[in-house]
């Protein structure tokens, strides 16, 4: 029985020998979202973003510890190093819709292999949560803060609508607002 399993494994390796490697890039934004939020935190201008590279070939993890890895932001070389499988950068400023990160592994089995990730850049957001009426709660997304205590907020009620404004205390330009129209 063991011989049969080794034969199947050997045939599988031969069949997959021509498969090109697959480079997978994952990324994580280091900014704020409220604890109930279960989605991926999206970066806003200035957010630190960490990108990680993993290589797979023949359905196995590829060893790139001794390979030169080059990192590009929007096709501009940003960093390089032997075995450098992670790269951290700050999201570009206002006016940018996103950034394309490319990791290039030099001389991987005689080839240059590339992996890509398109990362959107968003504006911070404020949401007025009405789920616990008559109390309203502000929810703050994608600000470059560690806690809501770093925000300055203000509520305004003008009889037709309620507005919530928020900005980062150390950077008033990093701001957002939401308006809730009252039923008449």
For position 8, what pLDDT does the model report? 60
pLDDT for residue 181: 84
Cβ atoms of residues 92 and 100 within 8 Å: no
Question: How distant is the alpha carbon of residue 162 from its chain centre?
Answer: 32
Question: Which CATH number is 29's domain given?
Answer: 2.60.40.10
Structure tokens at 164: 């919530």
- What is the structure's pLDDT at 95? 66
Distance CA 129, CA 155 (A): 13
Residues 33 and 87 occupy one common structural domain: yes
* Domain limits for position 61: 20-120
- pLDDT for position 184: 58
Is 81 found in the same domain as 33?
yes
Q: What is the pLDDT of residue 43?
A: 96
Give the dihedral sign, CA 164/91/169/35. positive
Q: Is 53 part of a structural domain of the chain?
A: yes
Q: Based on the fold, state whether residues 51 and 140 are members of the same structural domain.
A: no
Q: Does one domain contain both 93 and 169?
A: no
Q: Check whether residue 131 and residue 74 sit in a common domain.
A: no
Number of domains in the chain: 2
Residue 20: which residues within 8 A CB-CB, separation 6 or more? 57, 113
Check: pTM over 0.75? Answer yes or no.
Answer: yes
Q: What's residue 139's pLDDT?
A: 94
Token pair of 146, please? Answer: 């560690």
Would you say 66 and 82 are in contact if contact means Cβ atoms under 8 Å apart?
yes
132 Cβ neighbours under 8 A, 6+ residues apart? none
pLDDT of residue 93: 83
Domain boundary among 86, 120, 154: 120
Residue 6 domain-assigned (yes or no) = no
Residue 1 lies in a domain: no
CA pseudo-torsion sign 72, 78, 84, 89: negative
Q: What is the pLDDT of residue 140?
A: 96
Name beta bridge partners: 24: 54
Residues of the chain with pLDDT under 70: 1-18, 94-95, 183-184
């Amino acid at each position: 029985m063991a011989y049969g399993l080794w034969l199947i494994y050997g045939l599988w390796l031969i069949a997959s020998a021509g498969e090109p490697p697959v480079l997978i890039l994952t990324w994580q934004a280091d900014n704020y979202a409220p604890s109930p939020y279960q989605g991926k935190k999206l970066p806003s201008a200035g957010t630190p973003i960490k990108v990680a590279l993993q290589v797979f070939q023949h359905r196995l993890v590829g060893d790139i510890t001794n390979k030169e890895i080059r990192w590009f932001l929007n096709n501009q070389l940003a960093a390089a190093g032997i075995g450098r499988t992670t790269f951290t950068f700050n999201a570009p400023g206002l006016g940018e819709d996103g950034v394309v990160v490319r990791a290039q592994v030099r001389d991987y089995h005689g080839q240059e292999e590339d992996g890509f990730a398109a990362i959107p850049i968003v504006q911070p957001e404020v949401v007025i949560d009405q789920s616990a009426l008559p109390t309203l709660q502000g929810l703050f997304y994608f600000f470059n803060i560690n806690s809501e205590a770093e925000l300055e907020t203000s509520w305004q009620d003008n009889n037709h609508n309620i507005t919530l404004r928020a900005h980062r205390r150390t950077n008033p330009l990093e701001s957002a607002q939401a308006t809730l129209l009252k039923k008449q």
